[in-house]
Structure 1
Amino acid sequence: MSIFGSIMTKIFGGPAAAQASAPHAAEAPTIAAGGGTGLGGPSGSASSAAVPTMGGAPSPVAHDPVAGTPEGVDVGAVLQSLAERSGQSLDYRRSIVDLLKLLNLDSSLSARQELARELHYSGDTGDSAAMNVWLHGQVMRKLAENGGRVPDDLRQA
Structure 2
Amino acid sequence: MSIFGKIKDAIFGHKAQAQTPPPASAASTEGGTIAPQPQPATPAAVSEVDVQQNLEQMGQGKNLNWRTSIVDLMKLLGIDSSLDNRKELARELGYTGDLDGSAEMNIWLHKATMKELAKNGGKVPAELTD
> Normalising to structure 1: TM-score of the pair?
0.63
Q: 1:129: how far off?
A: 1.2
2:8 maps to 1:5:
no
> Structure 2 counterpart of 1:80, which letter?
E
CA separation of 1:127/1:103 partners in 2, compared to 1, >3 Å: closer, same or farther? closer
Residue 117 (structure 1) aligns with = 91
Q: 1:88: how far off?
A: 2.0
3-state SS of 2:115 partner = helix
Q: 1:132: how far off?
A: 0.3
Q: What are the Cα deviations for residues 118-139 of structure 1, in whole angstroms up to 9, with x where unaligned? A: 1111011115211100000000
Largest Rg, 1 or 2: 2
Q: 1:32: how far off?
A: 7.7
Q: 54, 65, 75: which is aligned to 1:78?
A: 54
> Structure 2 counterpart of 1:6, which letter?
K
Q: 1:127, 1:104 → 2: CA distance? A: 19
Over 4 Å off, 4+ runs:
29-33
CA separation of 1:31/1:109 partners in 2, compared to 1, >3 Å: closer, same or farther? farther
CA separation of 1:102/1:31 partners in 2, compared to 1, >3 Å: closer, same or farther? farther
CA separation of 1:106/1:140 partners in 2, compared to 1, >3 Å: closer, same or farther? same
Residue 93 (structure 1) aligns with = 67
Aligned partners of 2:83 and 2:101 also within 8 Å: no
Q: 1:32, 1:114 → 2: CA distance? A: 35
Equivalent pairs: percent with the same residue?
54
CA separation of 1:118/1:32 partners in 2, compared to 1, >3 Å: closer, same or farther? farther
Q: 1:121, 1:11 → 2: CA distance? A: 22
Q: 1:110, 1:32 → 2: CA distance? A: 40
Q: 1:117: how far off?
A: 0.6
Unaligned runs of 5+ in 1: 21-28, 34-64
CA separation of 1:30/1:136 partners in 2, compared to 1, >3 Å: closer, same or farther? same
CA separation of 1:66/1:101 partners in 2, compared to 1, >3 Å: closer, same or farther? same
Q: 98, 109, 113: which is aligned to 1:135?
A: 109
